[in-house]
Structure 1
Amino acid sequence: MAKETFNGWVGKDLSSADGNLVWEAFTPKAWEETDVDIEVTHCGMCGTDLHTLKGGWHEPEFPYVVGHEIVGRAVRVGSQVTGIKVGDRVGVGAQSDSCLDCNLCKTDNESYCPNNFVQTYDMRHKNGDRSMGGYADHARVPGHFAINLTPYPNVSSEILAPMLCGGVTMFSPLKRYGAGPGKKVGIIGFGGLGHFGVMFAKALGAEAVVISRSRSKEDDAFKLGATKFIATKDEPDWATKYEKTLDLILNTVDSTDMPLQEYLGLLAPMGTLVQLGAPDGNLPGFNVFSLLMTNRNLTGTCIGSRKEIREMLQLVNDQGLKTWANPFPMSQVNEAIKAFNRSEARYRIVLVNEKHLQQDN
């Protein structure tokens, strides 16, 4: 029996990250009754997509399809899948499988599963088949990680898709580390992740302070609800001027030469810096007394759980929050990649599969 195929934009070598994806047939994971097939209507473009294609963190296993902010309609639902039926609007984020048996999986922390964490692309499922992403007409994922989007009718698919990875990557640490009324949250880097950080910090009742090299995005930050904008290039004394003023910092910067020592100094005693940006190399060193004498915390988080995605989407639905989305037809994905590489996302590119939009919510 011939293997089933889908059609999508396939990365075939390292040049794919420059805008050289190829439209062709690819083989999804073999169907299991725990799976859901999604007719893709929207897929966000995440920096991880291009970083993975260029081999930034590990050697890619070409060919494969990227895209892990997927929204569409369930067109096939396995007999062992609960909570989803054919025709439902569904989504999947950066994770599409885990062991489901460990303590972390059983306590809604499956994004930290130590046994079988599977990204939505460029990894292997439990059955050994490749995971393939959403720059495609269809995506097949284990139903456990397909989120029914019916409870969020006020959120369009274009706005919702980038939240399934970029959004929850910021929402998760804000919730885990106490962002709320009376707290001051620093967001280092105002881009695809940072704009979500400001949006969600404000929605949770915290004060959002943006830290960036220049003031080029200052107006946008204030429009999203930031109360202060620190431009480090324009304020040489920023590290001392704002020392010990922040309760929580989310650092989206992925540079190996960031001023980490100075960032830590911005934390009030018992504050927490959460590292989100993932450099190709090691973080710079810092003086341990930055932690010892203040009980500051330095940690990191990765994406978010299904529970956190649902909680985030409920907040978005109820408060009318919106991604600053920059739509491109999926047929123009290579042009979208080039725009992304030119830093023109402002702030999340969303691929729109126009042939599947007729019945989209």
Structure 2
Amino acid sequence: MAARDTFLGWVGKDVTAKDGNLVFEEFEPKRWEETDVDIEVSHCGMCGSDIHTLSGGWHKAEYPYVVGHEIVGRAIRVGSKVTHIKVGDRVGVGAQSDSCGDCEFCNSDNETVCDKFVQTFDSTHLNGDRAQGGYADHARVPGAFVINLNPYPNIPSELLAPMLCGGITTFTPLKKYGAGPGKKVGIIGLGGLGHFGVMWAKALGADEVVVISRSKSKEADAKALGADRVIATNDEPDWPTKYGSSLDIIVNTADSPTMPFTDYLRLLRPLGTLVQVGAPDGNMPAWNGSPLFMKNRSIAGSLIGTRVDIREMLQLANDKGVKTWANPFPMAKVNDAIKAFNRSEARYRIVLINEKHAQKI
């Protein structure tokens, strides 16, 4: 039997990895199949999901991990059954790396809800091998979920990588629920997800974009990103009444178990929709149903986006000049980057740059 390939990457071996204790060593990618693409990783965004996984926040950790699912790089090996990628192309991979490809959801471009959803890391490929991510020199990914990035020349790789998870997580619900002319949009939380939400809502043409935050400490940033105003919930005790029934769509990036969820609902106009994208480690806070059913408001959830969504988002960014607020770190200093992330210093997305590969793309 032929020996398995090995790649080099930053491996989380125990719970201390969440504090910045990854180890650079060999790991095994999935076994090569002619449906795969090998990527020479040049950039990888740091997502909150990475830290949740390394800490075991969402479920019991299954070390070792190579995390990272905002991957950009150069295709260096392309399986014979992959037709949309060629060697040398700039390519990207987001948080999903495979699905069954044959169910009703996959056949209707809704592959994110396929029962055989495969995450780019912290998951198992359809062939039974462990999925590993992009904090590495190379990544091997099923080609069907590798995005050809050549059509988006106006987006530098450093700014594009975080769009592949953080960006698409907020773009998808805004597009689905009609953010655009005639609509007033609220974004709860101005962080890695929320800053994208503001920019997408503005690029989609919303009449008004409102940031809902605990304080006005990020008001200057919010307005620089395109927000029209900020509601500071800690500074204005009467905010649920003062701003009640004023927003058509709210995207909630917050994941605190103590957030004032009932009051957030009160901000919606009748028939409005609140979309939850923030994923807490534990349960959502308890909330009162009256504001929901008295005005026929809706609550929805949204998970990343499909390949169709990703391409539409990237075209919008390419055409409208949407730019991630990126905080770059050399990938060799990934442990310093994790520590900065844990200190909430991202402002607003940390991007790891693999300097030995970045100049080739």
TM-score (norm 2): 0.98
Is 1:151 aligned with 2:151? yes
Which residue type is aligned with residue 360 of structure 2?
A: Q
1:60 Cα deviation after fit: 1.8
Secondary structure at the aligned position of 1:298 is classed as: strand
Secondary structure at the aligned position of 1:180 is classed as: coil
Provide the rounded CA distance (Å) in 2 between the counterparts of 1:358 and 1:231.
43
Provide the rounded CA distance (Å) in 2 between the counterparts of 1:140 and 1:213.
41
Provide the rounded CA distance (Å) in 1 between the counterparts of 2:122 and 2:235.
41
Q: Deviations over 1:211-231 (max 9, x none)?
A: 000111110000011001011
Secondary structure at the aligned position of 2:152 is classed as: coil
Provide the rounded CA distance (Å) in 2 between the counterparts of 1:358 and 1:180.
38
Provide the rounded CA distance (Å) in 2 between the counterparts of 1:287 and 1:9.
44
Question: In the alignment, what sits opposite 2:181?
Answer: 181
Question: In the alignment, what sits opposite 2:172?
Answer: 172
Provide the rounded CA distance (Å) in 1 between the counterparts of 2:290 and 2:235.
28
Provide the rounded CA distance (Å) in 2 between the counterparts of 1:60 and 1:145.
25
Provide the rounded CA distance (Å) in 1 between the counterparts of 2:65 and 2:83.
29
Query: Gapped runs of 5+ residues in structure 1?
Result: none
Is 1:66 aligned with 2:67? yes
Once structures 1 and 2 are overlaid, which stretch shifts more, 86-95 or 228-237? Answer: 228-237
Question: In the alignment, what sits opposite 2:99?
Answer: 98
Correspondence list, 1:338-349, <5 A: 338-349=339-350
Which residue type is aligned with residue 341 of structure 2?
A: F
Q: Deviations over 1:241-264 (max 9, x none)?
A: 000000000000101111111000
Secondary structure at the aligned position of 2:124 is classed as: coil
Provide the rounded CA distance (Å) in 2 between the counterparts of 1:45 and 1:280.
18
1:191 Cα deviation after fit: 0.3
**RMSD after superposition:** 0.7
Question: In the alignment, what sits opposite 1:16?
Answer: 17
1:285 Cα deviation after fit: 2.2
Question: In the alignment, what sits opposite 2:142?
Answer: 142
Q: Deviations over 1:259-309 (max 9, x none)?
A: 111000000000000011111222122222222221100111000100000
Is 1:282 aligned with 2:259? no
Secondary structure at the aligned position of 2:283 is classed as: coil
Question: In the alignment, what sits opposite 2:356?
Answer: 355
Q: Deviations over 1:4-42 (max 9, x none)?
A: 100000000111010000000000000000000000000
Question: In the alignment, what sits opposite 1:193?
Answer: 193
TM-score (norm 1): 0.98
Which residue type is aligned with residue 153 of structure 2?
A: P
1:358 Cα deviation after fit: 2.5
Secondary structure at the aligned position of 2:131 is classed as: coil
Which residue type is aligned with residue 130 of structure 1?
A: R
Correspondence list, 1:200-349, <5 A: 200-206=200-206, 207-349=208-350
Which residue type is aligned with residue 208 of structure 1?
A: V
Which residue type is aligned with residue 5 of structure 2?
A: E
Provide the rounded CA distance (Å) in 1 between the counterparts of 2:355 and 2:4.
27
Provide the rounded CA distance (Å) in 2 between the counterparts of 1:263 and 1:76.
48
2:54–2:65 CA contact under 8 A, matched in 1 = no
How many residues align structurally? 359
Provide the rounded CA distance (Å) in 2 between the counterparts of 1:144 and 1:208.
35
Query: Gapped runs of 5+ residues in structure 2?
Result: none
1:189 Cα deviation after fit: 0.3
1:329 Cα deviation after fit: 0.2
Provide the rounded CA distance (Å) in 2 between the counterparts of 1:13 and 1:285.
33
Secondary structure at the aligned position of 1:103 is classed as: coil
1:82 Cα deviation after fit: 1.4
2:189–2:252 CA contact under 8 A, matched in 1 = yes
Q: Deviations over 1:170-223 (max 9, x none)?
A: 000000100001111100000000000000000000121000001111100000
Which residue type is aligned with residue 20 of structure 1?
A: N
Provide the rounded CA distance (Å) in 1 between the counterparts of 2:58 and 2:98.
20
Question: In the alignment, what sits opposite 1:38?
Answer: 39
Question: In the alignment, what sits opposite 1:5?
Answer: 6
Percent identity over the alignment is 72
Provide the rounded CA distance (Å) in 2 between the counterparts of 1:16 and 1:166.
21
Question: In the alignment, what sits opposite 1:48?
Answer: 49
Question: In the alignment, what sits opposite 2:111?
Answer: 110
